[in-house]
């Protein structure tokens, strides 16, 4: 059974940092491009970032570029999102997502972890 | 960036009736290299993550009931539910994956 389990969410003040993790199981993690997608409370889905199978290539949405860093550890089947300089508008549920290729549909979704940026 | 626009924003359909959701992209999502449309449909029920229903505009995922179908090419796409069931109440999103950012439509809330 495919599982993606996010952790690391919580409440942080504006300007602060958080590191999200996503533990993957049930599929060959190293064969999948991975993404983060976020959803603000009551709002729609927004793609945040992606990383290549070997971690050598990353791409970010303009709204997070320079503040967020995505990485992966294929030996530990784990995905990360380092979030710095957080803003109130970053408040959202963050989903860890698996896709088959660089331009491919999003096959697997985690349950999400809530990040709240508030003073 | 490619902008995805869905219509309508919300839709009420009777049980057993047909539901149709439209999605329009600001530029073609048809890849000339493989002649495939880089377009997916997702279903999100309250409190749950999205679930992939349709990929490549018309390929139904394994386990998805055959009352769900996707069609269209280029910039205009449609998700059709042929006979609405109670468990189909959800928000539906289209998304392109032709290039980054892999933008989603704003969502269509389907109700009975």
Convert the pLDDT of each residue in A23-55 to its tens digit: 999 999 999 999 999 999 999 999 999 999 999
Rounded alpha-carbon distances, angstroms, from residue A41 to A15, A46, A92, A96, B33: 20, 12, 6, 17, 38
| Proportion of chain A above pLDDT 90, given as a percent | 97
Tell me the per-residue pLDDT of A6-25, one tens digit each, with 9 for 90 and over: 999 999 999 999 999 999 99
Judge whether residue A102 has pLDDT over 90.
no
pLDDT score, position A105: 95
Interface test with A, best of B42, B49, B92 (most A CBs within 10 A): B49
A69's CB contacts (< 8 A; 6+ apart) are: A58, A81, A82, A84
Query: How near does any CA of chain B get to the CA of A20, in Å?
Result: 17
Nearest to A9 by CA among A119, A95, A106, A102: A95
Closest partner CB to B104 (pick from A44, A99, A112)? A44
Nearest to A39 by CA among A93, A2, A77, A78: A93
Mean residue pLDDT across chain A: 97
Taking contacts as CB-CB distances below 8 angstroms, the residues of chain A near B40 are 105-106
Rounded alpha-carbon distances, angstroms, from residue B100 to A6, A27, A50, A110: 23, 24, 9, 21
A104 and chain B: CB distance < 8 Å anywhere?
A: yes
Least CA distance to B41: which residue of chain A?
Answer: A105
Q: How far apart are CA A81 and CA A88, in angstroms?
A: 17
Taking contacts as CB-CB distances below 8 angstroms, the residues of chain A near B105 are 44
Tell me the per-residue pLDDT of A54-101, one tens digit each, with 9 for 90 and over: 999 999 999 999 999 999 999 999 999 999 999 999 999 999 999 988
CB distance B50–A107 less than 8 Å? no
- Consecutive 10-residue runs of chain B (112 residues): their mean pLDDT? 96 96 96 88 97 97 97 96 96 95 97 94
């Amino acid at each position: 059974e495919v599982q993606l389990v996010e952790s690391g969410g919580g409440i942080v003040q504006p300007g602060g940092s958080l590191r999200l993790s996503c533990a993957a199981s049930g599929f060959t993690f190293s064969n999948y491009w991975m993404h983060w997608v976020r959803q603000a409370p009551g709002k729609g889905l927004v793609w945040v970032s992606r990383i290549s199978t070997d971690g050598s290539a990353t791409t970010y949405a303009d709204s997070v570029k320079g503040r967020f860093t995505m990485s992966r550890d294929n030996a530990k089947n784990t995905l990360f999102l380092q979030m710095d300089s957080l803003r109130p508008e970053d408040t959202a549920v963050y989903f860890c997502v698996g896709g088959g290729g660089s331009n491919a549909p999003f096959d697997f979704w985690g349950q999400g972890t809530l990040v709240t940026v508030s003073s | 960036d490619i902008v995805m626009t869905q219509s309508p924003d919300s839709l009420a359909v009777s049980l057993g009736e047909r539901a149709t959701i439209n999605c329009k992209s600001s530029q073609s999502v048809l890849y000339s290299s493989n002649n495939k449309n880089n377009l997916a449909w997702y279903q999100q029920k309250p409190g749950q993550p999205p679930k992939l229903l349709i990929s490549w505009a018309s390929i139904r995922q394994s386990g998805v009931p055959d009352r769900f179908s996707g069609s269209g090419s280029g910039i205009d796409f449609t998700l059709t539910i042929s006979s609405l069931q109670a468990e189909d109440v959800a928000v539906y999103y289209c998304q392109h994956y032709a290039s980054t950012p892999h933008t989603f439509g704003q969502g269509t809330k389907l109700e009975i």
